[in-house]
Structure 1
Amino acid sequence: MPADLAVIGLGHLGLPLVQAAVAAGIDTVGYDTDPRPCAELRAGRTPVEGSLTASEIRRMLSGGFRPTTSAAELGRVRTAVICSPTPLGPDRTVDLTALGDAARALAARLRPHTTVVLESAVPPGTTENFLRPLLEEGSGLTAGRDFHLACSPSRLDPGNRTHTYASTPKVIGGLTSACTESAAAFYGRLTDKVVRARGPREAEMTKVLETNFRHVNIALVNEMAVACHDLGVDLWDVIRCAETKPFGFQPFRPGPGVGGHGVPVDPGCLPYSSRTPGHPLRMVSLAQEINDRMPSYVIQRCATLLNEHGKSVRGARVLLLGVTYKPDSADQEAAPAREIATRLMDMGAQIGYHDPHVLDWRVRELPVPRADSLYEAAAAADLTVLLQQHRTYDLQGLAVKAQLLLDTRGATPAGAAHRL
């Protein structure tokens, strides 16, 4: 049965798009080469940690959503949106393998007048120099003439109830003005505002700028955290004061590391540019270096605190609170908790954890003991480390119960714990 929309890639990008489309009354099919997410979705379960709830999945299914592994469905839609994962590889370059697989599957069935949109986070130039050739070679059609091609990078903030899909403007850059308008007509059914970029590269670079803005500013405040601790300055009070300035300042807060699905991208060091590569963004590289150091700094603070209380890391019972990358979510993508746990284990510590959203947590493929009673576990631990401030945590009560508490998020009352 034909559908208005095909969402290719049923992960953390694709599922919220499906949800928004079904809510808008758009007949939607979801395609994934991996049979596991499709099977989970058909059973009414979410295949992605920290994504939609089971009840939301069931509402999508009752609204007509059809998850499938049959690529034949892709040839029967008006709009196809590619939401394939584009993770960083071991060399810290973006891995476009899944995007290439999605493009080839779609190209073999692409019909004239279809609108194809790329939502995956990619280096500037990818839509034109990587995706376009695959679609044209596989279909025999020409982008901009026979079918519409555009980029509209995802701006999702999982769990954010204020900035929803509908209330977050969508940036769209098409290969031609007609491509832009075709994609804008589709997204106009889902969101309150559409922002037209000059072209696909401008849309791609918008995502790069937004991600690197966050990354660089977190790095700045992480450096401030280390400096303030060395100087005996309360950084959290400094931030509280600074954020009262009504112009020229936006507050960021330090933490044990940077997680999430967005990755810092340096366009000067990436492929798919039609020009000679330019100068690398040194600010971004430095920010990466600083933020990558934060788990080590947390370990250093843990060792110092234990030592000051006459204990060694070796043999110490350490309880980690919150192992996800953002509060009130089950998503663990790139969360610093795993690296921190690994390093503590290497130093001989006995690790336990508590997280209301994560019932099973593994480090090096080994299960980490989960605390059933938070207060009892904190009282028994030599050191409790708050890595993520889920709203269910009573931090004032926790500070009373814990023998020693390190707060890496500045969420505890002043004086109640040792802060990062």
Structure 2
Amino acid sequence: MQDKIQNKIAEELIEKIKQKKAKVGVIGLGYVGLPLAVEKAKAGFHVTGFDVQDKKVEMVNQGINYIGDILDNELKNVVEKGLLKATNNYDFIKELDVVTICVPTPIDRYKQPDLSYVENTAKEIAKRLKKGMLIVLESTTYPGTTEELLKPLFENTGLKCGQDFFLAYSPERVDPGNKIYNTKNTPKVVGGVTKTCTKVAAELYRNVLQGEVFEVSSPKIAEMEKIYENVFRHVNIALANEMALLCRKMNIDVWEVIEAAKTKPYGFMAFYPGPGIGGHCIPVDPYYLLWKAREYDYHTRFIELAGEINEYMPKYTVERAAEILNSFGKPLKGSKILTLGITYKKDIDDMRETPVLKIIEELENYKADIEVSDPYIKEFKHKEKTYKSVEITEELLKQKDLVIITTDHTNFDYELILKSSNLILDTRNAYKGKENPKIYKL
């Protein structure tokens, strides 16, 4: 009798999903949640977005976009059609059939996982959990979170996972600024607590996305898969950074080395050095795995070493700046320096975990005179100090002892920068292949 009821509940929800009658909620309207909410609304679902920030709620309800990877007219269109609304009132969860959790999973000052956002969100859902509801966690976390943290919270209500409600993990895959892959066409991995949970969650994504939906045997597989994706990038960027450090000592252009290596059609994937790593994923996710690994009395030495190398790059950038200035008889103290680019990668407005802040902080520790410029950031606050982005002009560039290209935005006027600057430290190979005595590399 139980199996029949279980199948009936699942099949009813699947049918609702197929007919686009399921009411869907997305908790967390940031870089992951809002694009997902828009895609679900575009697919024909009625979507409720939840966020604790009143400003975000207000902007969504007015159809005003604040995420670079969403087309303004797409957000406005689904809001005007009544397919997407936003709120900060969790009581609306009672009306939903599907809830997706897309809240932050940061690390604290000791690099320990902070799952408070996930846990608090789960507690709010548990208060309003009902039979036939699907909950999917998308926030990046350590293997075991879905089954060890969420499942007990939800089952404390008396409902049974896989029978009365359905729980799965499906890692977000967001690459801000990517012109080819976005939320809609990126393949999706789904792992449910039970096979039925997986089936229901996979059906949801197949009715929303164009990318392939790949089912795995458990949430732990999906959670570890996501961590593995980012650790892969983490360690390979560290290798590129270490090669850059060695090539500098050997007077070899590491960028030319990488371009040459790229000609091999197999067995090589290009990763590039830079002034440090940024974004929500790569600087954060490996520490979730490091923390969890200690539970098994295992130290991920290789990953920890990669972290040491990547975290050293902002400091090395400042050391390189000092070396360049010193060769012209100028101390770092009192030198006028302009950093070009604040965001962690080019052509986006995302400052999360940007290494440029560490560079600025280090330069100011040496009493350098710093100004910043970024076409995507008007102003920002760091450690109680407000920085305003300055306009790049010939006069400004000529006043600076050194210009550091920390983010290679496409719309920087690189000809003007080269013509008017006294010295340039190019950490991103923006002047690829260009020989000029003003240009220095990492």
Q: TM-score scaled to structure 2, two decimals?
A: 0.90
Query: 336-345 or 372-381: which moved more?
Result: 372-381
Residue 3 of structure 1 and its aligned partner are, at CA, apart by 6.2
Partner of 2:159: 141
| Cα distance change on mapping 1:166 and 1:419 into 2, 3 Å | same
| Cα distance change on mapping 1:276 and 1:257 into 2, 3 Å | closer
Is 2:423 the counterpart of 1:380? no
Query: 391-400 or 102-111: which moved more?
Result: 391-400
Where does structure 2 lack aligned partners over 5 or more consecutive residues? 1-20
Residue 217 of structure 1 and its aligned partner are, at CA, apart by 0.4
Residue 348 of structure 1 and its aligned partner are, at CA, apart by 1.0
Partner SS, residue 7 of structure 1: strand
Partner of 1:237: 256
Partner of 1:77: 96
Letter in 2 for 1:285: E
1:41 equivalent among 44, 50, 60: 60
Contact 1:173 1:198 in 2 (8 A): yes
Structure 1 Cα separation of the partners of residues 127 and 56 of structure 2: 23
Partner SS, residue 331 of structure 1: coil
Query: 217-226 or 278-287: which moved more?
Result: 278-287
Contact 1:266 1:280 in 2 (8 A): no
Letter in 2 for 1:117: V
| Cα distance change on mapping 1:375 and 1:54 into 2, 3 Å | farther
Residue 165 of structure 1 and its aligned partner are, at CA, apart by 1.7
Partner of 1:174: 192
Structure 2 Cα separation of the partners of residues 267 and 44 of structure 1: 35
Partner of 2:169: 151
1:218 equivalent among 237, 240, 248: 237
Partner SS, residue 123 of structure 2: helix
Number of residue equivalences: 415
Residue 278 of structure 1 and its aligned partner are, at CA, apart by 4.2
Cα-to-partner distance string for 1:121-158 (whole Å, 9 max, x where unaligned): 01000000011111222x32111111111000001111
Residue 304 of structure 1 and its aligned partner are, at CA, apart by 0.7
Is 2:300 the counterpart of 1:281? yes
Partner SS, residue 36 of structure 2: helix
Contact 1:51 1:331 in 2 (8 A): no
Structure 2 Cα separation of the partners of residues 147 and 313 of structure 1: 61
| Cα distance change on mapping 1:369 and 1:119 into 2, 3 Å | closer
Partner of 1:270: 291
Query: 275-284 or 177-186: which moved more?
Result: 275-284
Residue 362 of structure 1 and its aligned partner are, at CA, apart by 2.8
Contact 1:215 1:264 in 2 (8 A): no
Partner of 1:363: 382
1:291 equivalent among 310, 320, 333: 310
Contact 1:264 1:284 in 2 (8 A): no
Query: 5-14 or 295-304: which moved more?
Result: 5-14
Structure 2 Cα separation of the partners of residues 265 and 140 of structure 1: 35
Contact 2:169 2:222 in 1 (8 A): yes
Partner SS, residue 270 of structure 1: helix
Is 2:412 the counterpart of 1:393? yes
Partner SS, residue 80 of structure 1: strand
Cα-to-partner distance string for 1:283-342 (whole Å, 9 max, x where unaligned): 111111110100000000010111111211111110000100111111100001111111
Contact 1:268 1:277 in 2 (8 A): no
Partner of 1:163: 181
Partner of 2:440: 418
Residue 203 of structure 1 and its aligned partner are, at CA, apart by 0.2
Partner of 2:15: none
| Cα distance change on mapping 1:267 and 1:165 into 2, 3 Å | closer
Partner SS, residue 352 of structure 2: coil
Letter in 2 for 1:342: E
Is 2:241 the counterpart of 1:185? no
Contact 2:113 2:288 in 1 (8 A): no
2:150 equivalent among 104, 124, 131: 131
Structure 2 Cα separation of the partners of residues 260 and 266 of structure 1: 14
Residue 276 of structure 1 and its aligned partner are, at CA, apart by 5.5
Contact 1:222 1:254 in 2 (8 A): yes
Contact 2:101 2:139 in 1 (8 A): yes
Cα-to-partner distance string for 1:233-283 (whole Å, 9 max, x where unaligned): 010100000011111100000010000011232566435x9x951412111
Residue 51 of structure 1 and its aligned partner are, at CA, apart by 5.8
Structure 2 Cα separation of the partners of residues 349 and 144 of structure 1: 60
Cα-to-partner distance string for 1:52-78 (whole Å, 9 max, x where unaligned): 465554234224211011112111112
- Aligned ranges for residues 112-127 of structure 1 at < 5 Å? 112-127=131-146
Residue 198 of structure 1 and its aligned partner are, at CA, apart by 1.3
Partner SS, residue 97 of structure 2: strand
Partner SS, residue 265 of structure 1: helix
Structure 1 Cα separation of the partners of residues 399 and 58 of structure 2: 42
Partner SS, residue 86 of structure 1: coil
Contact 2:140 2:285 in 1 (8 A): no
Structure 2 Cα separation of the partners of residues 127 and 259 of structure 1: 26
Partner of 2:4: none
Cα-to-partner distance string for 1:356-381 (whole Å, 9 max, x where unaligned): 10011333222224322344322221
Structure 1 Cα separation of the partners of residues 65 and 384 of structure 2: 22
Letter in 2 for 1:345: E
Contact 1:317 1:382 in 2 (8 A): yes
Partner SS, residue 411 of structure 2: coil
Contact 1:354 1:370 in 2 (8 A): yes
Contact 2:170 2:190 in 1 (8 A): yes
RMSD: 1.9
Letter in 1 for 2:414: L
Contact 2:111 2:287 in 1 (8 A): no
The share of aligned pairs that are identical, in percent, is 37
Partner SS, residue 117 of structure 1: strand
Contact 1:324 1:335 in 2 (8 A): yes
